[in-house]
Amino acid sequence: MMRKLVVVAGCVWCLSIGHARAADEAPAGTLGTSMSLTGLSGLLVTESTHTLAPWSLAVSGAALFAHTTSPTSSLYEVAGLVALGLPGRIELAAVLPGVRTDPAVGSSETGLGDLQLSAKWRAIAQHEDQWPSLGVVTTVTLPTGQYSKGLGTPLGPVPSALQHYGVAIKALVSADIDLSPDLYAVGLYADAGYYFQDLNDPTQDKMGLYAAGAALPLIVRSDNVLASPLQLLLEVNGTYKRGSDQDYATFSPSLRYVGPVTVTAGLQYSLIHNSPDALGGVVQLELKFR
């Protein structure tokens, strides 16, 4: 079987400005709440229920590179992200990428990608270890990119562009659990939902979405077991009954170092229906100011 190689690298810079955290907000250093390339909290690919404190603003920039063989092609993306925390554990976010595609056949194209607007609500905050936090998120994708040139927004291992709109609705579950007081803790995260775009058009796509991840501290601090400077992240995400018959499942083990610069690096292995498997890696760097 032919193999497809996917290499993804990202650099993230974040500036956060806001008031003090509300009492029911996630504590500083909680596992898995670092920046990701698709949102402002959570693991590398899994959504999180965590939201910004009321009237806190976060802005960031991300760069992404992907290379595939079979056929050979390259994708470059530079994205700007902004999010605002609102009272009631609500977070609004927007992501606008600039995209360059470099296919093996045909000419290279450069331009804006598709704008994504998200609203997240953490409906239930975590109550100690007895009940996880629950939330919902809705993301609307607008066709600011040029569909005819393939300048959309990557969704899974295959880039996706739309003509009119895309909508994703997901339910989120997060929990930080002390397995043994003052000794060890884990962060557990999961999301599931539905995505559809351009219904009744030739480019329509619809699928179920799922993701789950765990953050395991490798260096434990006695003062806060949820603030490990080195974490092992284990994640899986994918689609179910995708309209284009290209369902995928991606496994992503990675390491995260939390310090003056937060660095996340890992591998990705994707099983893609009716297509060669994908093997690749992810690197992400993040700098925050509070």
- Going from the C-alpha of 183 to that of each of 70, 89, 177, 180, 228, the distances in angstroms are 47, 30, 11, 5, 11
Residue 128 is predicted with a pLDDT of: 64
Would you state the pLDDT for residue 185?
81
Sign of CA dihedral 17, 19, 24, 30: positive
The region, left, alpha or beta by phi > 0 then psi within -120 to 50, assigned to residue 55 is left
Distance CA 246, CA 111 (A): 26
Q: Is residue 150 within 8 Å of 119, Cβ to Cβ?
A: no
Residue 86 pLDDT? 92
pTM, to two decimals: 0.80
pLDDT of residue 24: 47
Answer for the pair 12, 61: CB distance below 8 angstroms, yes or no: yes
Distance CA 63, CA 101 (A): 14
- The pLDDT score that the predictor gives to residue 129 is 61
The whole-number pLDDT of residue 10 equals 45
Whole-angstrom distance, CA of residue 13 vs CA of residue 54: 21
- Confidence at residue 17, expressed as pLDDT on a 0 to 100 scale: 40
Whole-angstrom distance, CA of residue 132 vs CA of residue 46: 16
Return the H-helix or E-strand segment holding 285.
strand 278-289
Position 23 scores a pLDDT of 38
pLDDT of residue 3: 43
pLDDT of residue 12: 43
Q: What is the pLDDT of residue 289?
A: 47
> Nearest Cα to 102, choosing from 70, 79, 72?
72
> What pLDDT sits at residue 278?
60
Q: Beta strand pairing status for 4-17 and 278-289?
A: parallel
Amino acid identity at 201: D
What are the tokens at 201? 């058009």
pLDDT truncated to tens, each residue of the chain (290 aa)? 444 444 444 444 444 343 333 334 455 456 777 766 666 677 878 888 888 888 888 777 777 776 666 666 777 777 787 888 899 999 998 888 888 877 766 778 888 888 889 999 999 887 766 678 899 999 998 888 777 776 776 545 455 677 788 899 999 998 888 776 667 888 889 999 998 888 777 667 788 999 999 998 888 776 776 778 888 999 998 888 876 667 888 888 888 887 777 777 777 777 777 766 565 556 665 655 44
pLDDT at site 220: 78
CB 153 within 8 A of CB 141: yes
Domains and CATH numbers, the chain: 4-289 (2.40.160)
